[in-house]
């Protein structure tokens, strides 16, 4: 445990000593006094685990997985001020922060948890793609199929197979619509204003899964914060344990900030530049096509011009959407930054556990309105062609990534 980790609780325990002496002795004996409280703090933590298992059985395993990682981040954060900004050999603040981010990535994964609905969507999307490919293959085979044959499938046989696949595709599309409706209803129950159509648009974009992950993590942090409130309140006579609980809370908030940063970095340095490059390539190709079309009118070239314009329009819409999401996440992160600053400051101060409970309650209420999933007011899918072009651009971005 880092030196001076629980300096303030030590100061509070030594009220009979002059203030200057308290500071000096605390600096010299922080580790010794911390060891005396560690056994009691761990005992209280064991009681907390039992409480979680009894009162929140659905979260028991989550806490068991989270606690070691949260504690590890707390230790790394506390030693940060003791490290140099940079060092040729040994650890410095940069390497320490890299370790923290690796753990925060694991914490984010635990907070997101299993998302059965999205897993079913992915499986259904793959099945629909297979069905469409089968239809395309059957139509190709029909071109060379005989009218009558004893050993080969005829054109009418293939027509029947195509009709079967098309009926299956309709069923799959209906099942997907039901999944969108169910997922949107679940999100609305958690205070996220979105309908099935908006959800379909969201998940058709390259940032859709990231935004959904952040939403799920926010909801999980709110629930866990409520549980930490009650535990902090119950441990008000034990400042080291209360500090530990609040340290966990501050790490949960830092995890949300880490997820914000990862998404913003992806938009700014990955998705936006690549969607702009796609638009530029389409514009360059369109100029070449227009030059060819001016020399000789051609139905093929006219069709190419329409397809290129569709890509340019869709890329423009895509860029607008990414810009909107970037602004929204930046605003959310700014509001979250204040809460994190208060959490860290309070963790370092720890005047009394009652203050912790009040601040945690304020923070949890802030989370209720901090992040709201909103699709920008764009008519993203004016027609089926635009919808498919959006999906194609998303597939291109993911494949390039």
Average pLDDT for 121-145: 90
DSSP state string for 273-337: HHHHHHHHHHHHHHHHHHHHHHHS--HHHHHHHHHHHHHHHHHHHHHHHHHHHHHHHHHHHHHHH
- Let me know whether 118 and 169 are in one domain: yes
Q: Is residue 26 over pLDDT 50?
A: no
More confident residue, 8 or 254: 254
Q: What is the Cα Rg of the chain in Å?
A: 29
- Let me know whether 125 and 105 are in one domain: no
Kindly state whether residue 152 falls inside one of the protein's structural domains: yes
CB-neighbour burial class of residue 244 (10 A; exposed 0-12, middle 13-18, buried 19+): buried
8 A C-beta contact, residue 238 and residue 40:
yes
Kindly state whether residue 20 falls inside one of the protein's structural domains: yes
Kindly state whether residue 47 falls inside one of the protein's structural domains: yes
Q: Phi and psi of 108, rounded to 5°?
A: -60, -40
Q: What is the pTM of this model?
A: 0.71
More confident residue, 229 or 16: 229
Question: What pLDDT digit, counting tens, does each position of 244-264 carry?
Answer: 777 888 888 899 899 999 999
Scan for tokens 């004893």, then name that residue: 150
Average pLDDT for 11-30: 37
Question: What pLDDT digit, counting tens, does each position of 264-283 carry?
Answer: 999 999 999 999 999 999 99
Domain boundary among 139, 169, 189: 189
- How much is the pLDDT for 400? 65
pLDDT band at 198 (very low <50, low <70, confident <90, very high): confident
CA distance 94 to 107: 20
CB-neighbour burial class of residue 366 (10 A; exposed 0-12, middle 13-18, buried 19+): middle
- Let me know whether 50 and 96 are in one domain: yes
- Let me know whether 77 and 139 are in one domain: no
- Let me know whether 128 and 142 are in one domain: yes
Average pLDDT for 153-180: 93
Kindly state whether residue 363 falls inside one of the protein's structural domains: no
- How much is the pLDDT for 47? 53
Domain boundary among 79, 96, 112: 112
Average pLDDT for 80-98: 82
- Let me know whether 12 and 104 are in one domain: yes
- Let me know whether 73 and 166 are in one domain: no
Question: What pLDDT digit, counting tens, does each position of 208-239 carry?
Answer: 888 888 888 887 888 787 777 777 677 655 66
Nearest 10 degrees: Cα torsion 346, 347, 348, 353: 70
- Let me know whether 43 and 79 are in one domain: yes
- How much is the pLDDT for 350? 62
Kindly state whether residue 101 falls inside one of the protein's structural domains: yes
Nearest to 398 by CA among 275, 281, 276, 237: 275
Residue 122, classed as helix, strand or coil, is: helix
The fraction of the chain above a pLDDT of 70, given in percent, is 73
- How much is the pLDDT for 41? 41
Kindly state whether residue 125 falls inside one of the protein's structural domains: yes
- Let me know whether 181 and 98 are in one domain: no
- How much is the pLDDT for 236? 59
Kindly state whether residue 156 falls inside one of the protein's structural domains: yes
- Let me know whether 81 and 123 are in one domain: no
Question: What pLDDT digit, counting tens, does each position of 167-197 carry?
Answer: 999 999 999 999 999 988 887 876 667 888 8
- Let me know whether 129 and 179 are in one domain: yes
Q: Is residue 131 over pLDDT 90?
A: yes
- How much is the pLDDT for 44? 45
Average pLDDT for 129-149: 90
CA distance 8 to 37: 13
Kindly state whether residue 173 falls inside one of the protein's structural domains: yes
More confident residue, 193 or 73: 73
What CA–CA distances, in Å, run from 320 to 66, 100, 268, 270, 392?
37, 33, 13, 15, 17
Average pLDDT for 56-83: 82
pLDDT band at 371 (very low <50, low <70, confident <90, very high): low
Q: What's the mean per-residue pLDDT of the chain?
A: 77
Q: Is residue 352 over pLDDT 80?
A: no
Helix (H), strand (E), coil (C) string for 341-377? HHHHHHHHHCCCHHHHHHHHHHHHHHHHHHCCCCCCC
Average pLDDT for 373-393: 65
- Let me know whether 127 and 103 are in one domain: no
Q: Please give the tally of structural domains in the chain.
A: 2
Q: What does DSSP assign to residue 143? A: T
Domain boundary among 157, 189, 221: 189
Which range marks the domain in which residue 129 is found?
114-189
């Amino acid at each position: 445990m880092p030196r001076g980790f629980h300096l303030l609780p030590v100061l509070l325990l030594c009220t009979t000593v002059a203030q200057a002496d308290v500071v000096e002795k605390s600096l010299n004996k922080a580790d010794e006094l911390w060891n005396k409280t560690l056994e009691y703090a761990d005992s209280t933590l064991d009681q907390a685990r039992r409480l979680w298992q009894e009162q929140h059985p659905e979260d028991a395993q989550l806490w068991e997985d989270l606690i070691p990682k949260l504690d590890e981040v707390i230790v790394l954060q506390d030693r940060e001020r003791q490290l140099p900004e940079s060092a040729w050999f040994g650890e410095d603040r940069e390497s320490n922060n890299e370790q923290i981010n690796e753990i925060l990535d694991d914490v984010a994964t635990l907070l997101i948890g299993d998302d059965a609905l999205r897993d079913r969507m992915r499986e259904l999307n793959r099945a629909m793609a297979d069905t469409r490919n089968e239809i395309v293959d059957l139509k190709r085979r029909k071109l060379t199929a005989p009218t009558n044959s004893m050993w080969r499938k005829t054109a009418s046989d293939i027509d029947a197979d195509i009709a079967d696949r098309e009926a299956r595709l309709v069923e799959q599309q209906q099942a997907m619509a039901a999944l969108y409706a169910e997922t949107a209803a679940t999100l609305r129950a958690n205070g996220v204003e979105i309908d099935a159509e908006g959800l379909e648009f969201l998940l058709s974009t390259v940032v859709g899964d990231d935004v959904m992950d952040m939403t799920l993590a926010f909801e999980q942090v709110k629930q866990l914060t409520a549980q930490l409130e009650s535990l902090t309140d119950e441990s008000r006579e034990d400042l080291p344990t209360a500090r530990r609980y609040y340290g966990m809370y501050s790490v949960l908030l830092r995890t949300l900030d880490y997820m914000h940063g990862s998404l913003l970095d992806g938009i700014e340095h990955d998705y936006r530049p690549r969607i702009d490059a796609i638009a530029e390539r389409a514009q360059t190709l369109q100029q070449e096509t227009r030059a060819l079309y001016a020399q000789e009118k051609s139905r093929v070239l006219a069709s190419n011009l329409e397809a290129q314009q569709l890509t340019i329009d869709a890329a423009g819409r895509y860029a607008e959407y990414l810009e909107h999401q970037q602004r929204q996440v930046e605003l959310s992160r700014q509001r979250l930054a204040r809460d994190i600053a208060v959490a860290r400051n309070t963790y370092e101060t720890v005047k009394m556990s009652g203050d912790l409970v009040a601040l945690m309650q304020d923070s949890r209420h802030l989370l209720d309105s901090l992040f709201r999933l909103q699709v920008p007011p764009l008519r993203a899918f004016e027609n089926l062609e635009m919808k498919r072009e959006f999906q194609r651009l998303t597939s291109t971005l993911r494949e390039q990534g």
